[in-house]
Amino acid sequence: MAEKGAHLTSSVLTRPSIFELIAQESLAKTVHPAVKKLCEVLAESNPGKYGFLVRWFEELYLVAEFVLQRQYLRTKGSSFSEAFYGLQRSVSNSTDSKLPRRKLQLSLICLSVLPYLRRKLENLAVKYKLEEADGVPEKKNYPIGTRSFVITLHSVFHAVWESLVLMQYFMYMSGKSLYHSPLLRIIGISLIYTDQESEGLPWSSLKNCVTSRDFRSLPGVTFQLLRGVLSNSFEIFAFFLQFLQVWYSEHRQASVTSLPIPSTPQKRKIPTVLPVSGYIFCYRCIAEYVRENHSCPITHYPASDEDFVRIY
């Protein structure tokens, strides 16, 4: 009985709660729309100079996230959001605190590549749904039924995936599984509390190099210092994002009637609002223009299919 109780106690101490795990997942999902909004603001300020940030945002974000997650996985054994909440990745039957190379590569695919593919599929499905609702014919160079297949594939994938995630949550809370995520279960990685105290910035090492005039280790210490400063700045940025998310959720109920009403052109068939500029267009006309130019025809602000709000 004592041995069993000790085993349960040790497992509870190193087992994060489901709330911490969901919180770090929420942080990871918050970064993408926040960075996207920042790129849209830059593009609106200067479409000619920063317009490419909106047109190629998903690809640029994939590269940036891949580099960031790779750095965190190599140095801390966790993703960016996991490190923010004091968690690290652990492989069963392994005493090494660092992730094996294969596990690191699989983690990179799950953290950056798979979310990118999922967002691309979702955007494509939304685009096809809008075209199908407005009776836009399919492109001749695509096989017949491609649009319906993509829409069905996205719906089925979303339903199956969310069911698996919910099921894995229940299994983790009931203690029947070490993994809270289906992806982590597939690659064999669980999350535990980090067993290393925060190292902080190596100011003392830098001071010793200068006082002792031993400059041979100065490049290494300087690199560690810059890496620590960069890592801390990312964590401060993550805290700022969390603050903005809470602040926005509390103030999103503000009345839109106090906003100025822009002058609008004459309404046409299927009137559609483009929120980035406030103008109303014919849906088929504005959809065709935005898909070709990725901007509002009047203000030239960056726009996409996701911005359309049709009025019925």
Q: Which residue has the tokens 């890592």?
A: 231
84-117 pLDDT tens trace: 888 889 887 666 667 888 999 999 999 999 999 9
Interatomic CA distance for residues 298 and 311, integer angstroms: 20
135-172 pLDDT tens trace: 777 777 777 788 888 889 999 999 999 999 999 999 99
Per-domain residue ranges of the chain: 13-196+242-248, 271-310
Interatomic CA distance for residues 108 and 31, integer angstroms: 17
The count of other CB atoms within 10 Å of the CB of residue 255 is 6
73-83 pLDDT tens trace: 988 888 888 88
Task: State residue 177 phi and psi, 5-degree precision.
Answer: -145, 145
Dump the DSSP string for 19-74.
HHHHHHHHHHHHHHHHHHHHHHHHHHH-HHHHHHHHHTHHHHHHHHHHHHHHHHHH
**pLDDT of 61 strictly over 90:** yes
215-234 pLDDT tens trace: 555 555 455 556 555 555 65
Interatomic CA distance for residues 99 and 267, integer angstroms: 59
Helix (H, G, I), strand (E, B) or coil at 275: coil
Q: Which residue has the tokens 């509002």?
A: 296
Within the chain, residue ranges assigned H as helices are: 2-13, 18-45, 47-55, 57-76, 80-84, 101-108, 114-133, 146-173, 182-187, 203-211, 218-251, 283-293
